Amino acid sequence: MDENWQRYSRQILFQPIGLEGQKKLSNSKAVIVGMGALGTVMANHLVRSGVGFVRIIDRDLVELSNIQRQTLYDEEDAANALPKVVAAERKLNKINCSVTVEGIISDVNLDNAEELLTGFDIILDGTDNFQTRYLLNDVSVKHLIPWVHGAAVSSRGMFSVIIPGKTPCYRCLFPTVPSGLGETCDTVGVLSPLTDIIGSFQAMEAIKLLVGAETTSNLEQIDIWYNSSMQMDITHGRSPDCPTCGKGRFDFLDRSSNQQVSYTTLCGRDTVQINPRKRQIINMKEQAERLEKIGTVNGNPFLIRFKPDHDISLVLFSDGRVLVHGTDDIVKAKSYYAKYIGS
- Is 109 or 244 the residue whose CB approaches Zn ion more closely? 244
Measured from each CB, the residue nearest to Zn ion is: 242
CB 117 to Zn ion: min, Å: 18
CB 240 to Zn ion: min, Å: 9
User: What does DSSP assign to residue 295?
Assistant: S
- Is 11 or 140 the residue whose CB approaches Zn ion more closely? 140
- Is 245 or 323 the residue whose CB approaches Zn ion more closely? 245
Q: Note if 185 is an active site residue.
A: yes
Closest CA to 245 of 338, 327, 172: 172
Beta bridge partners of 57: 33, 104
Is 173 a binding residue for Zn ion by CB under 5 A? The answer is no
Determine which helix (DSSP H) or strand (DSSP E) holds 49, and give its type and residue range. helix 37-49
130-134: long-range contacts, CB 8 A cutoff, minimum separation 24 = 130/174, 130/177, 130/178, 131/177, 131/252, 131/259, 131/261, 131/264, 132/33, 132/34, 132/108, 133/170, 134/170, 134/171, 134/177, 134/251, 134/252, 134/259
Distance CA 91, CA 97 (A): 10
Is 152 a binding residue for Zn ion by CB under 5 A? The answer is no
Determine which helix (DSSP H) or strand (DSSP E) holds 9, and give its type and residue range. helix 9-12
Closest CA to 40 of 68, 3, 9: 68
Please select the residue that binds Zn ion; options are 41, 46, 101, 242, rule is CB under 5 A. 242
Stretch touching Zn ion by CB under 5 A, among 64-72, 81-89, 237-245, 329-337: 237-245
Say whether 32 sits in a helix, a strand or coil.
strand
Per CB under 5 A, contacts with Zn ion among 180-209 are none
- Is 6 or 176 the residue whose CB approaches Zn ion more closely? 176
CB 242 to Zn ion: min, Å: 3
Determine which helix (DSSP H) or strand (DSSP E) holds 149, and give its type and residue range. strand 147-153
Which one from 97, 169, 172, 185 is the annotated catalytic residue?
Answer: 185
Stretch touching Zn ion by CB under 5 A, among 11-19, 182-190, 203-211, 242-250: 242-250
CB 165 to Zn ion: min, Å: 10
Please select the residue that binds Zn ion; options are 24, 171, 208, 321, rule is CB under 5 A. 171
Please select the residue that binds Zn ion; options are 87, 161, 245, 253, rule is CB under 5 A. 245
Which parts of this chain interact with Zn ion (CB under 5 A)? 169, 171-172, 242, 244-245
